[in-house]
Amino acid sequence: MRAVVQRVSEASVRVGEEVVGAIGRGLLVLLGVEDSDTDRDAQYIAEKVVGLRIFNDDAGKFNRSLEEVEGSVLVISQFTLHGDCRKGRRPSFIQAARPETAVPLYEAVVRGIRERGFTVATGEFGAHMMVHLVNDGPVTLLLDSRKLF
């Protein structure tokens, strides 16, 4: 499972003309599920997201967590995180999980974050979404449950 985590001052996602998810200060998580992922991968990502100390303290150092800044999380599914661009010009998505596998694991990540006491907004799985964010910093981190990077 892969995630792109961005520290934001605000973020929202629209499907068509409707805003389906929005947060203020917190984290935008773009989440890609791989075909071999399990609940263990989902729990790893949920734990890592809420535990990251990537908010500034009074000295400007990355010392505060999502909890300490009373932040929220916007989680958006993004199968393209498993796009393989090593050959040719068109990415291969063969390792991206099919919806019947990906949806329950995506929901497990969302549930895992909520169970830790955080407000979580979401996009709409499989929909064409328009994501608006104000990246604070900018701060963008990559997570991989297999710790490939």
Please confirm, yes or no, whether 140 is among the known catalytic residues: no
Please confirm, yes or no, whether 6 is among the known catalytic residues: no
Report how far apart, in Å, the C-alpha atoms of 109 and of each of 27, 59, 95, 139 are. Answer: 14, 32, 19, 21
Mention the CATH class of domain 2-143: alpha beta
pLDDT tens across 41-60, in order? 999 999 999 999 999 999 99
- Strand partners for 21: 13
pLDDT value of residue 16: 97
Asked whether residue 149 carries a pLDDT value surpassing 80, the answer given is no
Please confirm, yes or no, whether 78 is among the known catalytic residues: yes
pLDDT tens across 5-34, in order? 999 999 999 999 999 999 999 999 999 999
Percent of the chain with pLDDT over 70: 100
pLDDT value of residue 13: 98
This prediction's pTM: 0.96
Active-site residue, selected from the candidate residues 43, 55, 62, 80: 80
